[in-house]
Amino acid sequence: MKKNNIVLVGGGSTWTPGILKALTTHLTSFGLNRVTLYDTDGQRQEVIGEFGKILFQEEAPEVDFRYTTDKEVAYRDVDFVFCQMRTGGYPMREQDEKIPLSFGVLGQETCGPGGFAYGMRSIRDMVEMVKEVRRLSPEAWILNYTNPAAIVALALDSYFPDDQRILNICDQPVNLLRSYGRLIEADYTKFEPTYFGLNHFGWFTHIYDENGQDLAPQIKDTILNGGFRPVDAEQRDQSWLDTYAMVEDMLLDFPEYLPNTYLQYYLYPEYKVSHSNPDYTRANEVMAGREKNVFGECRDIVAKGTAKDSHVVHNDAHGDMIVEVAASIANNLRQTYIVIVPNNGIVANLPNDVMIEVAASLGINGPMPYAVGQIETFYKGLIEGQHAFEKLTVEAYREGSYTKALQALTLNRTVVDGKKARKVLDALIEANRAYWPELT
């Protein structure tokens, strides 16, 4: 089996320890020669990098592990790029959430105006990353988690239409599959799902088991009769438990398919605003929780000199998914994952240029998505509106167009009112001067 050189972009991410751990537990399916962390923030990355040194020394000493802030070192001679950067960090996520809320509009990291603002920041750094990687490692696979993945995917498709080795992914569908498995006491690894939509905007239509039986009706009944909790409920903050609980509400109103949890923001924006604290949002919860814990625990591990028995890296869908996706591509395993790809006829009644999220077989030539066919009017209408928002966001960025930015926000189901959209946009422009192109 080939031994790969990989770089993790956003080495200082709170998710990096989990990915590093997943790399060490998947060595028999994804061979490693070298693992490099790269981050623009050297101080942040150093804490995780020192933890990584100990982890690899203990679990996989044969792998060359290193961390750097030098792009030339990071991106040269690489087989796989795992990307998870956050331009502007949590302080800007806090702005994305709080600014819209201050106008009575949904404040969320990847949805609505927050997702728009974050997308406008991510595009710049993601485009630069791809250019630099292509200069130094033209053949590398770029697997991207960076959010908002829907907007990032559309932007990268528009900047690099001929690049067949960029794959945008999200761990939420597989998290839902794991959660269904726990709910009905079934092995989720045997599930064969059918799923369609955009990123953070999709539905499971069927979940077949290994005998060909569709488990979706049983899953829906179980949720409607007893609620829904994430597979790792014991490790979740209350806001995530509330989010999963909303799946029951969505099924009561729209019982046809199993919804992605993120649809709650589009189907019930007023409820979500009225249940948000404009002074303490998810960014505050993450800074006080996951960020503090991950960095604190990495420092403790470094002080102790061992990562054995540590909790910083509980086995999570996020780490497993990106490593398994890489393994499936590298070794032509043709396993099925739900990933983000250009539509090109997969959903028959949506335009080709929509970046859809669907199940695909992943092999040496990348994703081979399974056909979905025609979708019904309700879903088509929702997706077309959301796609128009995403497309206008990318065009607003590329053209520096205030008009397109205003159109994007007005089209978004979480905003709707044009006057409100203008107020939110103007405040977001002010907060993002260091990151966005000028919009005229």
Ligand X SMILES: O=P(O)(O)OC[C@H]1O[C@H](O[C@H]2[C@H](O)[C@@H](O)[C@@H](O)O[C@@H]2CO)[C@H](O)[C@@H](O)[C@@H]1O
Q: Which stretch binds ligand X (CB under 6 A): 168-176, 336-344, 364-372, 430-438?
A: 168-176
Place of tokens 């006491």: 185
Nearer to ligand NAD, 129 or 330 (CB): 129
Nearest to 389 by CA among 435, 425, 340, 434: 425
Taking only Cα atoms into account, the Rg of the chain, rounded to an integer number of angstroms, comes to 21
Per CB under 6 A, the list member of 146, 175, 281, 328 interacting with ligand X is: 175
Sequence-distant (6+) residues with CB within 8 A of 21 are: 55, 313, 315, 319
Regarding 317 and contact with ligand X (CB under 6 A), the answer is: yes
92, 368 Cβ separation under 8 angstroms: no
What's the closest the beta carbon of residue 421 comes to ligand NAD, in angstroms?
Answer: 23
The residues in 271-290 that bind ligand X, with binding defined as CB under 6 A, are: 282, 286
- Does 316 help bind ligand X (rule: CB under 6 A)? yes
What is the number of the residue whose Cβ is closest to Mn ion?
Answer: 170
Whether residue 93 is annotated as binding a ligand: the answer is: yes
C-alpha to C-alpha distances, 281 to 108, 179, 260, 275, 428, nearest whole angstrom: 9, 25, 21, 11, 17
Write the binding mask 141 to 170 for Mn ion: x where contact by CB under 5 A, - elsewhere.
-----------------------------x
- 206 is an annotated ligand-binding site residue: no
Catalytic residue flag (residue 171): yes
User: Minimum distance from CB of 126 to ligand X (Å)?
Assistant: 15
Which residue of the chain is nearest ligand X when measured via CB? 172
Structure tokens at 322: 């990106």
- Please give the residue ranges that form the binding site for ligand NAD (CB under 6 A): 9-10, 12-15, 38-41, 44, 84-87, 89-90, 125, 145-147, 149, 170-172, 318
262 assigned to active site: yes
CA distances from 16 to 20, 49, 79, 145 (A): 6, 9, 18, 12
| CA 186 to chain CA mean position, Å | 25
Interface positions, 12-51, toward ligand X (CB under 6 A): none
CA nearest to 265, candidates 136, 49, 97: 97
Contacts with Mn ion, 166-205, as mask; x by CB under 5 A: ----x-x---------------------------------
Q: Note whether 339 binds Mn ion by CB under 5 A.
A: no
**DSSP codes of every residue in 351-369:** -TT-EEEEEEEEETTEEEE
Which span (21-29, 46-54, 166-174, 342-350) binds ligand X, by CB under 6 A?
166-174
User: Is 211 known to sit in a ligand binding site?
Assistant: no
432 labelled ligand-binding: no
Nearest approach, Cβ of residue 286 and ligand X (Å)? 5
Tokens 């007893």 -> residue: 226
311 is in an annotated binding site: no
412 is a site residue for ligand X (CB under 6 A): no
Beta bridge partners of 337: 360
Q: 205 by DSSP, 3-state: which?
A: strand
C-alpha to C-alpha distances, 408 to 118, 226, 250, 275, 429, nearest whole angstrom: 14, 38, 25, 25, 14
Residue 374: CB atoms within 10 A of its CB come to 9
Is residue 147 involved in binding ligand X (CB under 6 A)? yes
Residues making contact with ligand X (CB under 6 A): 147, 170-172, 175, 282, 286, 316-318
Catalytically active residues are 171, 262
Annotated binding residues for Mn(2+): 170, 200
Residues making contact with Mn ion (CB under 5 A): 170, 172
